[in-house]
Amino acid sequence: MSKPSTPPPLSGFTIGTLLATSGGLVALAIYQWLELIELRAGHTPACSINATVNCAAVWDSPFSHRIHEFIGIPVAGLGVVWGAVAFTLSFMFIQRSRATGDGSTFSGALKVWALLGLLSCVTFITASIQAKAVCLTCLGTYALTFGFAIAALKLIGGPVIPPSSDLLPGAGWAMVLAVPVYLGLLYPGSKTPTSTAPVVPVVDAHDPRDFGAIVDSMPEREKLTASWAREQWKNSQPQDVSMFPVHALKGNPDAPMKVVEFTDILCGHCAQFVALFHEIESLAPAQNLSLEPRYYPLDKECNPDITGSANNGVRCYGARLQICTEKNPKFFAMRSELFENQAKLDQGMMLSIAKRYGVDENELNACMRSPETAARLAEDIAYAKKYAIEGTPLVLLNGKVAPPSPIFLMGMAMSGGNPDSPLLLKLPPPPRE
């Protein structure tokens, strides 16, 4: 009767690879988390070099925001969880192998965890491609994960896919370690903002000379971001949207700067833009601006272009409620309050806010169920598709897509929609790829 072969002794290279890659992953994930917090405070991360090599674009993608909203920690927090579990499993495997010569109790766990890491990398690489940006720190994460996978799947011996006798115990060990680490990170995850604080220059109301002085004093990265936004807007193409009538408008109908925004009621960046526009209109001449709200809920329940759903109806309810209350004289104040309470919104809270502004509940419910409201929402979705919408907010300035750069938008508002005004010509040339 043959006996199972004794696994080869662990080499120093294998031990070093397991511990160095997993430990490095924890350190890199913590660094990314701290950089994310800096980004949310309105600062530009060191890894945001230009429009393409831009970790901020990846961290601010709709995919990253959905992850944070759904699990309570940012994507960087998942990196901390994965790296911490990988390091602990490696240590336990090494200790058992040295003590007994047989680390099979934990080798299955290592292989399961490595395979999960590789699958996660494929998912995040796909999201990065969709964001049309390269995240340098993410590339480091992928490299370390790949290195750990080589050590776990090949260097420690045994089949790449562990047998069922090792697979289930391995998955069990991984979960036993992952759950407490994840639960421990929920608190810092809840304290990590989900949207970036708008960087609005402090200027004297309606005084373009003061805005010019602010531009002169801005950090170089912020100047470059505004310059890039200006170039992107100038080079973008307007679309024929004459078939979409204006339903609600705030400001001067003949304003030289007409803004159309497509929002989702739970989109953190949308709440940021609503607050930003409020700041802009408080500083720029009133005749310079108009705002037309449109809706693009990120839920397949009412938007056929979306594949996922939270199954709570909040996003679709929020869009329909806004459509049905646009004629309310206090609509824009109500809308601001909805976004201010975004973190705790549900259908009941939205209804309560609407009723405080004089909305009749029975009339509202009838309107939200009506074919006219469904047709209006379909109109907004079709409008947004004219601009190949990839996420919210989609901001249109005079019919062209405008990156929501606070400095660029403020300069356009102060100059009456002129991208070649002396104010914006103070900006340096945009970064080149």
Q: Are residues 186 and 243 in the same domain?
A: no
- Say if 419 falls within a structural domain: no
pLDDT of residue 3: 43
pLDDT of residue 47: 78
CA dist., res. 423 & res. 222, Å (int): 15
- Say if 218 falls within a structural domain: no
Local structure of residue 344 (DSSP, 8 states)? G
Encoded tokens for 30? 């913590």
The answer to whether 351 and 361 have CB atoms below 8 angstroms apart is yes
Provide the CATH number for the domain around residue 63: 1.20.1440
Q: Are residues 185 and 263 in the same domain?
A: no
Q: Are residues 44 and 171 in the same domain?
A: yes
pLDDT of residue 206: 46
- Answer yes or no: pTM beyond 0.85: no
Q: Are residues 175 and 253 in the same domain?
A: no
Q: Are residues 282 and 175 in the same domain?
A: no
The residue segments making up the domain with residue 267 are 237-401
- Say if 63 falls within a structural domain: yes
pLDDT of residue 4: 46
The answer to whether 333 and 357 have CB atoms below 8 angstroms apart is yes
Q: Are residues 343 and 274 in the same domain?
A: yes
- Say if 433 falls within a structural domain: no
Average pLDDT value over all residues in the chain: 86
**Position 222 pLDDT exceeds 90:** no
29-61 pLDDT per residue, tens:
999 999 888 777 656 677 766 657 778 778 877
313-329 pLDDT per residue, tens:
999 999 999 999 999 99
3-state class of 310 per DSSP? coil
The answer to whether 239 and 386 have CB atoms below 8 angstroms apart is yes
Q: Which of 130, 163, 191 is the last residue of a domain?
A: 191
pLDDT of residue 43: 65
Name the band, by pLDDT with cuts 50, 70 and 90, for residue 5: very low
Q: Are residues 256 and 150 in the same domain?
A: no
**Position 196 pLDDT exceeds 80:** no
Which one is predicted more confidently, 417 or 167? 417
Q: Are residues 176 and 33 in the same domain?
A: yes
Q: Which of 164-173, 319-328, 335-344 has the lowest mean pLDDT?
A: 164-173
Half-sphere exposure of 171 (CA within 13 A, CB side): 9
105-120 pLDDT per residue, tens:
778 888 888 999 999 9
The answer to whether 414 and 212 have CB atoms below 8 angstroms apart is no
pLDDT of residue 156: 85
Name the band, by pLDDT with cuts 50, 70 and 90, for residue 219: confident
pLDDT of residue 41: 66
Alpha-carbon Rg for the chain, nearest whole angstrom, is 26
CA dist., res. 2 & res. 16, Å (int): 33
- Say if 297 falls within a structural domain: yes
Q: How far is residue 168 CA from its own chain's centroid?
A: 34
Position 360, amino acid: D
pLDDT of residue 1: 41
Secondary structure in 3-state letters for 229-269: HHHHHHHCCCCCCCCCCCCCCEECCCCCEEEEEEECCCCHH
Strand partners, 258: 290
Q: Are residues 87 and 177 in the same domain?
A: yes
What domain count does the chain have? 2
**Position 182 pLDDT exceeds 70:** yes
Name the band, by pLDDT with cuts 50, 70 and 90, for residue 346: very high
3-state class of 9 per DSSP? coil
Q: Are residues 186 and 252 in the same domain?
A: no
- Helices 314-325 & 331-340, crossing angle to 10 degrees? 160
Which one is predicted more confidently, 151 or 62? 151
% of the chain beyond a pLDDT of 70: 89
**Position 297 pLDDT exceeds 90:** yes
- Say if 204 falls within a structural domain: no
pLDDT of residue 405: 85
Name the band, by pLDDT with cuts 50, 70 and 90, for residue 2: very low
| Other residues' Cβ atoms within 10 Å of the Cβ of residue 410 | 26
The answer to whether 262 and 274 have CB atoms below 8 angstroms apart is no
Name the band, by pLDDT with cuts 50, 70 and 90, for residue 210: low
Residue keyed to tokens 């009456």? 416
- Say if 2 falls within a structural domain: no
3-state class of 369 per DSSP? coil
pLDDT of residue 45: 72
% of the chain beyond a pLDDT of 90: 48
For the segment 128-150, the average pLDDT, to the nearest whole number, is: 88
The answer to whether 419 and 234 have CB atoms below 8 angstroms apart is yes
12-28 pLDDT per residue, tens:
898 899 999 999 999 99
Q: Pairing relation of β-strands 400-401 and 394-397?
A: antiparallel
Q: Are residues 99 and 248 in the same domain?
A: no
pLDDT of residue 316: 96
CA dist., res. 48 & res. 137, Å (int): 10
Q: Are residues 48 and 109 in the same domain?
A: yes
Provide DSSP, 63-121. Answer: HHHHHHHHHSS-HHHHHHHHHHHHHHHHHHHHHHHHHHS--HHHHHHHHHHHHHHHHHH
pLDDT of residue 55: 81
CA dist., res. 293 & res. 247, Å (int): 9
3-state class of 14 per DSSP? helix
Encoded tokens for 250? 């705030």
Strand partners, 257: 289
pLDDT of residue 309: 84
- Say if 301 falls within a structural domain: yes
Q: Which of 42-51, 184-193, 253-262, 344-353 has the lowest mean pLDDT?
A: 42-51
348-385 pLDDT per residue, tens:
999 999 999 999 999 999 999 999 999 999 999 999 99
CA dist., res. 388 & res. 134, Å (int): 21
| Other residues' Cβ atoms within 10 Å of the Cβ of residue 4 | 7
pLDDT of residue 207: 55
Q: Pairing relation of β-strands 400-401 and 289-295?
A: unpaired
Which one is predicted more confidently, 233 or 309? 233
Provide the CATH number for the domain around residue 261: 3.40.30.10
pLDDT of residue 204: 46
